[in-house]
Structure 1
Amino acid sequence: MTSRRAGISCKVYHGDVFLGDAEAFPTTNTSGGNAQPLPFLSGNEIRIDHLSPPSERCPPLSVLQSINPFAVRCKVQAKSVAEHPLRRLYLSCFNEFRSAVMVTGNEELHLVAMPSKVEKVSCFWCCSVQAGLYASCLGMLNLRCLAIVFDLDETLIVANTMRSFDDRIEALSRKIDGEKDPIRISGMSAELKRYVEDKDFLKQYIEMDTVTDNGRSITAQNEEVPPIPGVQERITRPVIRMKERNIVLTRINPENHDTSVFVRLRPAWEDLRSYLTAKGRRRFEVFVCTMAERDYALEIWRLLDPDSHLISSKQLMDRIDNVCHPRMAMVIDDRLQVWDDKDQPHVHVVPAYTPYYAPQAEMANAVPVLCVARNVACNVRGGFFKEFDENLLQKVFELNYENEIVELPGAPDVSYYLIAEDCNNLQNNNREAPIVEGTIGSETEHRFNQLAYLVDEQQAKHQAQLNHSSTDDEMPVNITSANNKKLNVEVRQPISLASSVFVSVLQEIGRRCDSKIEFKFTNGNTKELPHSVLFSSERIGMGMGRTLKDAQSQAAENALRNLAILRHALMSMLATVSKDMCIYWGEEAGFSSSSRTIDNYVLRSVLVAEIVLESISVARGLYKQVTVLVRLSQDAPLVVSMQVSCYLVQKCLDDDDMVPVLIA
Structure 2
Amino acid sequence: MLNLRCLAIVFDLDETLIVANTMRSFESRIEMLSRRMDIEDDPVRVAGMSAEIKRYIEDRELLKEFIDTDTVTDNGRIVGTQKEEVQPMPGVQERLVRPVIRLPERNAILTRINPEIRDTSVFVKLRPAWEDLRSYLTAKGRKRFEVYVCTMAERDYALEIWRLLDPEANLISLNNLSDRVVCVKAGSKKSLQHVFREGGCHPKMAMVIDDRLQVWDEKDQHRVHVVPAYAPYYAPQAEMANAVPVLCVARNVACNVRGGFFREFDENLLKKVFELLYENELLDLPYAPDVGDYLVSEDPNFPPSNKDPAPIPEGMSGTEVEKRLNGRAYQGDQKQISSSIRPSDDARVAIRGTLGSSNVQPNGGSMAIVPSLFVTVLQEIGRLCNSKVEFRSTVSTSKITQFSVEVLFSNEKIGNGIGKTRDEAQVQAAEKALQNLQSQQTCHIDIDPTR
Q: TM-score range by the shorter chain?
A: 0.5 to 0.7
Give the SS at the match of 1:141: coil
Residue 344 of structure 1 and its aligned partner are, at CA, apart by 0.3
2:255 alignment counterpart: 378
One-letter identity of the residue aligned with 1:416:
D
Q: Which runs of 5+ in 2 are unaligned?
A: 183-194, 317-325, 338-354, 356-373, 395-404, 410-450
- Measured in 2, the distance between the counterparts of 1:533 and 1:232 equals 65
Q: Which position in structure 1 is the counterpart of 2:227?
A: 350
Give CA deviations for 1:227-263 in whole Å, capped at 9, x if unaligned.
1234573200000111222100000000100000000
- 1:413 aligned residue: 290
2:146 corresponds to: 285
Aligned to 1:179: 40
Q: Is the 2:225–2:250 contact (alpha carbons within 8 Å) kept by the matching residues of 1?
A: yes
Q: In structure 2, the residue corresponding to 1:351 is in which secondary structure? A: coil
**1:295 and 2:156 matched:** yes
Q: Select which of 504, 507, 521 maps to 2:311.
A: 504
For the pair 1:392 / 2:269, whether they are aligned, the reply is: yes
| Residues 1:237 and 2:44 aligned together | no
Give 2:217's aligned residue: 340
Cα distance change of structure 1 residues 543 and 395 upon mapping to structure 2, 3 Å threshold? closer
1:246 has 2:107 as partner: yes
Q: Which residue of 2 aligns with 1:156?
A: 17
- Aligned partner letter, 2:249: V
What CA distance in whole angstroms lies between the structure 2 residues aligned with 1:350 and 1:285? 20
Asked whether the equivalents of residues 376 and 504 of structure 1 are also in contact (C-alpha less than 8 Å), the reply is yes
Preserved CA contact (<8 Å) 2:21 2:124: yes
Task: Tell me: higher relative CO, structure 1 or 2? Use CA pairs within 8 A at least 6 residues apart.
Answer: 2
Contact 1:533 1:542 in 2 (8 A): no
2-structure distance, mates of 1:505, 1:325 = 26
Measured at CA, do residues 198 and 417 of structure 1 come closer, stay the same or move farther in structure 2, by a change above 3 Å?
same
SS across alignment from 1:398: coil
Structure 1 segment 200-219 matched on structure 2, within 5 A? 200-219=61-80
Which residue does the alignment assign to 1:165? 26
Instruction: Work out the CA distance in 2 between the residues paired with 1:410 and 1:348.
Output: 23
Partners of 2:293 and 2:58 in 1: how far apart?
45
The answer (yes or no) to whether the contact 2:40–2:46 under 8 Å persists in 1 is yes
Return closer, same or farther for 1:180/1:187 CA change in 2, 3 Å cut-off.
same
What amino acid maps onto 1:355 in structure 2?
Answer: P
- Return the offset for 1:180: 1.7
Contact residue 239 and residue 251 of structure 1 kept, 8 A: yes
Q: Deviations over 1:147-180 (max 9, x none)?
A: 0000000000000000000000111111112212
Secondary structure of the residue that 1:142 maps to in structure 2? coil
- The 8 Å contact of residues 532 and 541 in structure 1, kept in 2 or not, is answered as no
Preserved CA contact (<8 Å) 1:210 1:217: yes
Q: Is 1:270 matched up with 2:147?
A: no
Aligned to 1:310: 171
Aligned to 2:121: 260
Q: Residue 375 of structure 1 contacts residue 504 of structure 1 at CA under 8 Å; is this kept in 2?
A: yes
Q: How does the TM-score come out when normalised to structure 2? A: 0.67
Alignment CA distance shift 1:409-1:265 (3 Å): same
Q: Which amino acid aligns with 1:217?
A: I
SS in 2 for 1:238: strand
Return closer, same or farther for 1:352/1:481 CA change in 2, 3 Å cut-off: farther
Q: Secondary structure at the match of 1:289?
A: strand
Q: Which residue number corresponds to residue 74 of structure 1? A: none
What displacement does 1:216 show? 1.4
Cα-to-partner distance string for 1:426-464 (whole Å, 9 max, x where unaligned): 6xxxxxxxxxxxxxxxxxxxxxxxxxxxxxxxxxxxxxx
Partner of 1:574: none
Deviation of 1:401 after TM superposition, in Å, equals 3.9
What's the CA shift for 1:217? 1.4
Cα separation, 2, equivalents of 1:546 and 1:391: 10
Distance (whole Å) between structure 1 residues aligned to residue 381 and residue 93 of structure 2: 51
Quick one: distance in 2 between partners of 1:299 and 1:228? 12
Q: For 1:544 and 1:396, how far apart are their aligned partners in 2? A: 22
Q: Looking at secondary structure, tell me which structure has more strand per residue.
A: 1
Secondary structure of the structure 2 residue equivalent to 1:169: helix
Distance in 2 between the 1:228 and 1:357 partners? Answer: 37
Provide structure 1 residue ranges, at least 5 long, that are not aligned to the other structure. Answer: 1-139, 427-478, 483-496, 510-518, 556-653, 655-664
**Aligned counterpart, 2:363:** none
* Post-superposition CA distance 1:336-381 (Å, at most 9, x none): 0011110100000000000000101111110100000000000000
In the alignment, which residue of structure 2 is the partner of 1:195? Answer: 56
1:143 aligns with 2:26: no
| Partner amino acid, structure 2, of 1:263 | V
Partner Cα separation in structure 2 for residue 162 and residue 368 of structure 1: 29
Q: Counterpart of 1:391 in structure 2: which amino acid? A: N
Change (3 A) 1:342 1:233: same
Q: Paired residues, what number? A: 331
CA drift at 1:407: 1.7
Which residue of 168, 182, 202 maps to 1:325?
A: 202
Pick the aligned partner of 1:364 from 231, 238, 241.
Answer: 241
1:267 touches 1:362 (CA, 8 Å); kept in 2?
yes
Q: Give the TM-score taking structure 1 as reference length.
A: 0.46
SS in 2 for 1:386: helix
Q: Deviations over 1:548-587 (max 9, x none)?
A: 9xx9xxx9xxxxxxxxxxxxxxxxxxxxxxxxxxxxxxxx
Give 1:548-567 correspondences, 5 Å limit. Answer: none
Q: Distance in 1 between matches of 2:19 and 2:375?
A: 44
Which structure 2 residues correspond to residues 34-73 of structure 1 after superposition, within 5 A?
A: none
Q: Secondary structure at the match of 1:144?
A: coil
Q: 1:546 to 1:528 in 2, by over 3 A?
A: farther
Whole-angstrom CA distance in 1 between matches of 2:375 and 2:127:
40
Counterparts of 1:583-598 in structure 2, within 5 Å, are: none
> Once the 2 structures are TM-superposed, how far is the Cα of residue 182 of structure 1 from its aligned partner?
1.1
What amino acid is aligned across from residue 163 of structure 1 in structure 2? R
Distance in 1 separating the partners of 2:295 and 2:131? 23
Q: Which one has a bigger Cα radius of gyration?
A: 1
AA in 1 matched with 2:134: R
Which amino acid letter does the alignment assign opposite residue 185 of structure 1?
Answer: V
Q: CA deviation at 1:547?
A: 7.4
Q: Which residue of 1 aligns with 2:427?
A: none
Pick from 42, 66, 88 the counterpart of residue 227 of structure 1: 88
**Compared CA separation, residues 541 and 178, structure 1 to 2 (3 A):** farther
Q: In 1, distance between residues paired with 2:95 and 2:135?
A: 27
Q: What is the root-mean-square deviation of aligned Cα atoms in Å?
A: 3.5
Cα distance in 2 for residues equivalent to 1:168 and 1:207:
21
Distance change >3 Å, CA 414–CA 168, structure 1 → 2: same
Percent of pairs with identical residues: 67
1:135 matched residue in structure 2: none
Does the 8 Å CA contact 1:532/1:542 hold for their aligned counterparts? no
Q: Is the 1:272–1:374 Cα contact (8 Å) retained in structure 2? A: yes
